[in-house]
A = this chain, B = another copy of it.
């Protein structure tokens, strides 16, 4: 029925808000599943989550939502394209069109393939048996191709997948920036690998009691600006950050009593995600204007706090004395420079999630290139292990000794998350570009960090990025904030500026 845009907007907000509330109930159920749920509750939890997911989907894709969006589009309410209403309608339309293009049968087939695929992947990885995983992977790739065809794309099939995680990004533009980055990164990694200078990482592999690590990690997270009044830290097998709603965004970590860095940098990483979430405009919660721009932008925040801040010299100038105080028995007599070098150890390794901030990007490039080759038909599913290992050799100079530490290591493909990996490196690129600009705007950030002052950076991020919700597309946001389009140079400059002196290379 035709109606006034103002009325339509009110009704639309009501529906979307209800969908968001149900989604946030599901988020809490998901958090609980991974933190405190008793083992026996898993079947029931699956039933609860399936119902909520279905209800959220039904609400957000109901024909009424389409009608209401239509009644608002083109009205005076959306005249200014950067206004709250225009942005909300732009993004809701985009989401609605994409979601309603996918046949329900395909949605269900993908959901089913995700569940069974992940179960099989767990076993296949355990046995390092690619053949065992192959049929599921082949099936998932086929379903994802169908999905891409259903939702449509401008240039290549892979565009449709990438767009799910990094909206508006194109394969072409991402390939371009990551390609240039690769050209400089690969030889840089080779130089570091060839350097005789190596940190003494055993410093970090001493006794670091879990309870002390927790206190130290919480202190660091709070110092950089994660608000524990609206958050908390728990322990899980795989660390994550989950926003439940305004005033409630939780992070998790995994403690290793024989390693200082694993939990600590993980906490800083998740706190970075949390700080973004806590900085989103509360008054727009549930609507796109209250949401994060993309996974890449989200990752830019976590990586910045984890690496550019957390592994920086000034950060440790402030925190190292506290660490020595807290972990006296393991850090007594350790020299600052040795400690700083140890937390910035760079070395080729097989497993992405354990990689340092330099080689990490090679792990991503490799996956991004293989994914594209899969979806443009250049690589057959059965050849993935060979392609993986060949590429690994050329980027890292080493070859995985098994598929478990090669192409079977990540859960993403089993879970249908093709197009996801790129956002990790995009995050690093965004991060370096934002950080360089923040340094320009805020003066001597190093001196601030060394004095324990992290609030100016957080507030700068809050003002320029977090509080903007989805007003700007990722590409636009980068230009708006830094004055330039996304470029690999700031990241390369940051990496060489930090690691060339450490490793005595050029």
A residues sitting closer than 8 Å to B (CB atoms) are 18, 21-22, 24-26, 28-29, 32, 36-45, 47-48, 51-52, 227-232, 234, 244-248, 250, 285
Contacts and interface: CB of A to CB of B under 8 A. Distances in A.
The 6 closest A-B pairs by CB, nearest first: A41-B248, A40-B247, A40-B230, A44-B245, A41-B247, A40-B229
Contacts of A36: 36, 232, 234
A246 B48 CA distance: 11
Given A22-B51, A40-B248, A48-B245, 19 more contacts: A18-B51, A25-B48, A28-B29, A36-B36, A38-B228, A38-B231, A39-B229, A39-B230, A40-B229, A40-B246, A40-B247, A41-B244, A41-B245, A41-B246, A43-B246, A43-B247, A44-B245, A45-B245, A47-B245
Contact of A21 (B39, B47, B227): B47
Contacts of A18: 51
Contact of A41 (B39, B44, B230): B230
Nearest to A285: B44
Nearest to A228: B38
27 contacts: A21-B47, A22-B51, A24-B44, A25-B25, A25-B26, A25-B29, A25-B48, A25-B52, A36-B234, A37-B248, A38-B231, A38-B247, A38-B248, A38-B250, A39-B229, A40-B229, A40-B230, A40-B231, A40-B247, A41-B230, A41-B244, A41-B245, A41-B246, A41-B247, A44-B245, A45-B248, A47-B245
Contacts of A48: 21, 24-25, 28, 245
A247 B52 contact: no
B28 A32 contact: yes
B246 A44 contact: yes
A21 B248 CA distance: 23
A21 B245 contact: no
Contacts of A229: 38-40
Nearest to A50: B21
Q: Give the most central of A24, A42, A227, A250: most B CB within 10 Å.
A: A24
Contacts of A285: 44
> Looking at chain A's contact residues, is the secondary structure mostly helix, strand, loop, or mixed?
helix
Contacts of A39: 229-230, 247
A332 B374 CA distance: 72
A26 B51 CA distance: 13
A232 B40 CA distance: 11
A365 to B, nearest CB: 38
Given A38-B228, A38-B230, A248 B25 contact: no
Contacts of A24: 44, 48
Nearest to A51: B21
A212 to B, nearest CB: 17
A246 to B, nearest CB: 5
A44 B232 contact: no
Contacts of A52: 25
B41 A227 contact: no
A14 to B, nearest CB: 11
Contacts of A248: 37-38, 40-41, 44-45
A493 B262 CA distance: 62
A26 B501 CA distance: 55
A48 B227 CA distance: 22
A29 to B, nearest CB: 6
A247 B33 CA distance: 13
B44 A244 contact: yes
A197 to B, nearest CB: 44
A285 B43 CA distance: 13
A21 B49 CA distance: 9
Nearest to A246: B44
Nearest to A36: B232
A24 B51 CA distance: 12
A13 to B, nearest CB: 13
Nearest to A54: B18
A344 B418 CA distance: 65
Q: Give the most central of A29, A41, A51, A244: most B CB within 10 Å.
A: A41
Nearest to A234: B36
Contacts of A43: 246-247
A317 to B, nearest CB: 31
A22 B50 CA distance: 11
Contacts of A47: 21, 245
Contacts of A44: 24, 244-248, 285
A281 to B, nearest CB: 14
Contacts of A250: 38
Contacts of A228: 38
Contacts of A22: 51
A269 B24 CA distance: 33
A250 to B, nearest CB: 7
